[in-house]
């Protein structure tokens, strides 16, 4: 089968498409024929070793000393169950699923992936294509859900999402609305209409100045890109809750119940995904270049060629 192999740390060109052995599912696993995956900001970080200086040594130990320990990246996927292990009872051949590979050594940038049936996978939302299902619900959606729950949002509270057009932000806006909040999304000029389409009650163009200068205060401020300036925190109410995607997601553990909850919201029409661009697998280098620029809206999707290997 084809897979994108990361040969060493470096620019997008270190990615190579190679033929490797097709995996065989264990007794408790399903073999998924992948239809779509994404290029996540985390994939860029692991490929380029783009980490803060203070985290250099622990990151090297975790990610790999000379080159990435996990040579096939890809954190999320959508596809079809092609075969199952002898002890699998939750899924059958032909099931359309979406899944996270975050706790499974990644590996979604390939034509096939084996997943444990008790892993972070579920039947694909019936109203989504494979591309839409792969685009972030299992990572961005569950991250936004976990972090926002820490604020215990009440109906009518004012919630601001900074980075509202990013991979976590697009879900955070919609989930905050679902929880009953009056929601403000902060993004760039070109993304204002997109954030409005997600249900934001108000939008703020950060290129026009600091949202804190408006005089509005908020019960919850969620920095979904971990880039907010310290001065902006003055817009938080006295007993308000400030959330940072990096700090507050560090304690989040993947829960299948969260994925099922998001699936139900998607099928009910309460949550949708945003796809910025779609690339075929053989343009994975170009996809990495684009995501690395830091201006993507929502998600960048990779469609996987379905030739048999």
pLDDT at residue 13, rounded to an integer: 96
- Same-domain check for residues 129 and 157: no
Which one has a higher pLDDT value, 199 or 251?
A: 199
Nearest alpha carbon to residue 150 among 60, 242, 70: 242
Which one has a higher pLDDT value, 51 or 104?
A: 104
Q: What is the per-residue pLDDT across 78-128, written as a single tens digit (0 to 9) for each?
A: 999 999 999 999 999 999 999 999 989 999 999 999 999 999 999 999 999
Tokens of 279: 């690339």
- Same-domain check for residues 126 and 193: no
- Same-domain check for residues 201 and 101: no
Task: Please check whether residue 133 is in contact with residue 98, taking contact to mean a CB–CB distance below 8 angstroms.
Answer: yes
Tokens of 171: 């879900």
% of the chain beyond a pLDDT of 90: 85
Nearest alpha carbon to residue 299 among 171, 77, 135: 135
Task: Please check whether residue 3 is in contact with residue 290, taking contact to mean a CB–CB distance below 8 angstroms.
Answer: no
Positive or negative, the CA dihedral 246, 280, 133, 75 is negative
* 309: pLDDT strictly greater than 50: no
- Same-domain check for residues 185 and 97: no
Task: Please check whether residue 161 is in contact with residue 178, taking contact to mean a CB–CB distance below 8 angstroms.
Answer: no
pLDDT band for position 227 (50/70/90)?
Answer: very high
Spatial separation of the C-alpha atoms in residues 167 and 229, rounded to whole Å: 20
- Same-domain check for residues 74 and 152: no
What range does the domain containing 188 cover?
140-249
Residue 262 lies in a domain: no
pLDDT band for position 24 (50/70/90)?
Answer: very high
Spatial separation of the C-alpha atoms in residues 126 and 139, rounded to whole Å: 19
- Same-domain check for residues 186 and 110: no
pLDDT at residue 308, rounded to an integer: 43
pLDDT band for position 43 (50/70/90)?
Answer: very high
Residue 195 lies in a domain: yes
- Same-domain check for residues 185 and 130: no
Any idea what the CATH number is for the domain that residue 131 is in? 3.90.180.10
Nearest alpha carbon to residue 292 among 39, 100, 69: 39
pTM value is 0.92
Residue 257 lies in a domain: no
% of the chain beyond a pLDDT of 70: 98
List of residues 6+ apart from 224 with CB closer than 8 A: 144, 161, 162, 163, 164, 166, 168, 169, 172, 245
- Same-domain check for residues 17 and 128: yes
Count up the domains in the chain and report the number: 2
- Same-domain check for residues 89 and 104: yes
Which one has a higher pLDDT value, 180 or 46?
A: 180
Residue 22 lies in a domain: yes
- Same-domain check for residues 8 and 131: yes
Residue 309 lies in a domain: no
- Same-domain check for residues 45 and 163: no
* 307: pLDDT strictly greater than 70: no
* 55: pLDDT strictly greater than 80: no
pLDDT at residue 63, rounded to an integer: 80
Any idea what the CATH number is for the domain that residue 198 is in? 3.40.50.720
* Mean of pLDDT over the chain: 94
How many residues would you count in the chain? 309
């Amino acid at each position: 089968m084809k897979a994108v192999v990361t040969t060493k740390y470096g620019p997008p060109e270190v990615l190579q498409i190679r033929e490797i052995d097709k995996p065989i599912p264990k007794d408790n696993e399903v073999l998924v024929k992948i239809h779509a995956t994404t290029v996540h900001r985390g994939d860029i970080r692991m490929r380029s070793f783009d980490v803060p200086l203070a985290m250099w040594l622990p990151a090297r130990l975790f990610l790999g000393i000379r080159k990435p320990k996990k040579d096939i990246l890809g954190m999320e996927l959508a596809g079809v169950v092609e075969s199952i292990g002898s002890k699998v009872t939750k899924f059958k051949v032909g099931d359309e699923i979406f899944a996270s590979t975050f706790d499974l050594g990644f590996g979604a940038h390939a034509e096939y992936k084996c997943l444990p049936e008790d892993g972070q996978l579920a039947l694909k939302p019936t109203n989504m294509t494979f591309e839409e299902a792969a685009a972030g619900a299992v990572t961005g959606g569950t991250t936004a859900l976990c972090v926002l729950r820490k604020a215990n949002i009440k109906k009518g509270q004012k919630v601001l999402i900074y980075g509202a057009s990013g991979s976590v932000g697009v879900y955070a806006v919609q989930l905050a609305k679902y929880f009953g909040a009056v929601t403000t999304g902060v993004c760039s000029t070109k993304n204002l209409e997109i954030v409005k389409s997600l249900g934001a009650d108000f939008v703020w163009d950060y290129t026009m100045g600091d949202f804190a200068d408006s005089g509005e205060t908020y019960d919850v401020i969620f920095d979904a890109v971990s880039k907010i300036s310290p001065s902006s925190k003055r817009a938080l109410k006295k007993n308000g809750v400030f959330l940072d995607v990096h700090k507050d997601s560090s304690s989040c553990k993947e829960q299948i119940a969260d994925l099922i909850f998001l699936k139900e919201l998607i099928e009910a029409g309460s949550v949708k995904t945003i796809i910025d661009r779609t690339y075929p697998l053989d343009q994975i280098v170009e996809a990495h270049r684009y995501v690395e620029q830091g201006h993507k809206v929502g998600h960048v999707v990779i469609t996987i060629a379905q030739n048999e290997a």
